[in-house]
Structure 1
Amino acid sequence: MPFLDKIIVDFDRALRVMGGIASASRPNPASRIVEAVLDADQQRHSAGLMRINHVGEVCAQALYDAQARFAHDPSVKQQFIDAGREEEDHLAWTAERLRELGSHISLLNPLWYVGAYALGTVAARLGDTRSLGFVVETERQVEAHLTSHLTELPEQDAKSRAIVDKMREDEVLHGAAAKALGGTVLPFPARKAMQAMSKVMTSIAYYI
Structure 2
Amino acid sequence: MAYKHTPLDRFISGADKALRVITGVASASRPTPALHIPDAQMSDAERRHSAGLMRVNHVGEVCAQALYNSQGRFAKTEEIRAQFEQAGREEEDHLAWTAQRLEELGSHISVLNPLFYAGAYALGTVAAVIGDGASLGFVVETERQVEAHLESHLQKLPEQDGRSRAIVDQMRIDEIEHGAAAQALGAINTPAPVQAVMAVMGKVMTSTAYYI
After TM superposition, is the score higher than 0.5?
yes
Q: SS of 2:159's equivalent? A: coil
Q: 2:45 aligned with 1:41, yes or no?
A: yes
Partner of 2:68: 64
Shift, 1:13, TM fit: 1.7
- CA distance in structure 2 between the aligned counterparts of 1:27 and 1:57, rounded to whole angstroms: 17
Q: SS of 2:76's equivalent? A: coil
Equivalent AA in structure 1 for residue 43 of structure 2: D
| Cα deviation code 1:153-198 (max 9, x no counterpart) | 0000000000000000000000000000010111110000000000
- CA distance in structure 1 between the aligned counterparts of 2:61 and 2:17, rounded to whole angstroms: 14
| Cα deviation code 1:23-58 (max 9, x no counterpart) | 000110001110001101100000000000000000
Among 172, 186, 196, the residue aligned to 1:192? 196
1:159-170 to 2 correspondence within 5 Å? 159-170=163-174
Partner of 1:87: 91
- CA distance in structure 1 between the aligned counterparts of 2:126 and 2:54, rounded to whole angstroms: 28
- CA distance in structure 2 between the aligned counterparts of 1:6 and 1:136, rounded to whole angstroms: 24
| Cα deviation code 1:62-81 (max 9, x no counterpart) | 00000000111211111101
Partner of 1:26: 30
Partner of 1:155: 159
More deviation in 190-199 or 11-20? 11-20
- CA distance in structure 2 between the aligned counterparts of 1:7 and 1:80, rounded to whole angstroms: 15
Q: 2:16 aligned with 1:12, yes or no?
A: yes
Q: SS of 2:99's equivalent? A: helix
Equivalent AA in structure 2 for residue 90 of structure 1: H
Among 110, 135, 148, the residue aligned to 1:144? 148
- CA distance in structure 1 between the aligned counterparts of 2:151 and 2:33, rounded to whole angstroms: 17
Equivalent AA in structure 2 for residue 99 of structure 1: E
| Cα deviation code 1:71-98 (max 9, x no counterpart) | 1121111110100000000000000000
Partner of 1:171: 175
CA RMSD of aligned residues (A): 1.2
Q: SS of 1:12's equivalent? A: helix
- Structure 1 gap segments, 5+ residues each: none
Q: 2:57 aligned with 1:53, yes or no?
A: yes
Length-normalised TM-score, structure 2 = 0.95
Q: 2:127 aligned with 1:123, yes or no?
A: yes
Shift, 1:7, TM fit: 4.3
Partner of 2:117: 113
- Structure 2 gap segments, 5+ residues each: none
Shift, 1:12, TM fit: 2.4
- CA distance in structure 1 between the aligned counterparts of 2:146 and 2:9, rounded to whole angstroms: 34
- CA distance in structure 2 between the aligned counterparts of 1:75 and 1:2, rounded to whole angstroms: 16
